[in-house]
A and B are shown apart, each in its own frame.
Chain A
Amino acid sequence: MKRVTAGNTALLILALLSAWASWIPANDGTLENSMNNNLVKTLSTSEDPWELNDAAKALAKGSDPIGHAAVATALVSSHFLTNLDSEEEYAGDSRHLRLASLLKVLAENETQSAHEILLRASESSVFCDNPARIDLMIDALTFIRPAPPRAITFWDKYSQPEDGFVERTIRQISENGSDPAIALLEKKLTSRDFEEEDRAWWIRRHVLGLRDNVTMLNACMRMLQGSLEEALRPGLVEVLFDYQPKAWYRPHDVPAAPDRSNASREALELLYLIGQSAQAELELDPALDFRITDELKTIDETLKDER
């Protein structure tokens, strides 16, 4: 990666900082914080990776708009990014980059401005110039719930066939589990751009964790009624009613099915409808048919008990 000189970058960063500060609402309580001023200066002038790491994380943990503005600017600066982690470090595990811990701090900071930093970086061509950074952004956005439209746009962009990110993105949007993320998952599950076997896997691996979620169940209803190819429908029904971890998953990635006793009444009612409709309309394997009958009986009893 090409490195830009510190002097030129400092001027650029100061200019960008001014622009950002005008966007962020003022917070007089921390604005004059001299420590933060030092940290901001470190971000724009230091070339030491640990100094940059410490300063950026310290600012990211707080809520000072000027500090956040400085981090936002740094994240779209190739000077900062290439000094924070070397080319050699980028060749290894992306989760081992210093950048990873900075993004996690931002993602876990529940202030709007911290999340705005992530979203701005996700739209930056400088930030997204490296696949390891894209990986980390895919992961970091998972913490923001409900997923904002810009996060959905980013995930959508990085979940295309054979792009090298799609498996990670599908994993993370299902982990996010908010309504917009589930809508994106439904879009990907019904997209003919992807091979059926990939989507069959996503159903088993990623729909499972959401199988008692009302939004997901509504999406399942739509998919079973027509938006999903017929060949994939039994698999979708199976994941809702007949969890088979030993048969389905590789040893290092065995997801747990949610405890159905915690499912809401609305979810159970939807499941009941889906089960009945699947038995009436789909050609099901007898073993699956039996499991659905069994599960419907349990659901029916639970619903009766709650009445």
Chain B
Amino acid sequence: MGQIAIILAVLLVATEAAGWISENSRGQPGNGGKGTIIESTMTRIASGDITPSVAPTTAETTEPTPSPESAAPTVPAPSTESATPVEPADEEQRPKTNVGASQPPLNLAELEKRIRETDALGFFTKLSLKNQVDSLLSRFNAYHKGKSDLSIAQLRERYNLLLLKLVSLLEDDDAQLSHDIFTSREAIWKVLVDPEQFAQLQES
């Protein structure tokens, strides 16, 4: 009789454990709806419902010296109106993680390394992001050589969009990296628009 009770108890525990694992992997509301934010954000990005929401600061208007767009107007701020719900917002509005706000910004090499190492992104996702980063870098390369058909404002828009995708994808499963990327966005942008720093980046 005692043995039957033990078997039943063990099976009960095992069933509970299996249910817990299954529920976690599905991102059920009981688990805080894990994954649902990414899905809704990415769906909205895909459908064009939202635009880049990383609002440029004054540093963003810095024109690179050999700009072929010297007559171009200053960088317009991308529309933040429709993107407000998914915007990572200011650092103080991101209470999810216990992150160090005073950490130095990531450089591109570190960023690449951490994206490679994170478990928050799958194989196809990482590869697609790499393709998009390479594409953006080739556009910056063309820009610095004066052969780009895109203005600095258009490049900034594409940069913002790619950054938003990345931050959204990482937000749930690697909030630290998501935060670090968000806080490093201006430092990375400065490297991209500075002809000398960009040339060094291409050489490395």
The yes or no verdict on A and B being binding partners is no
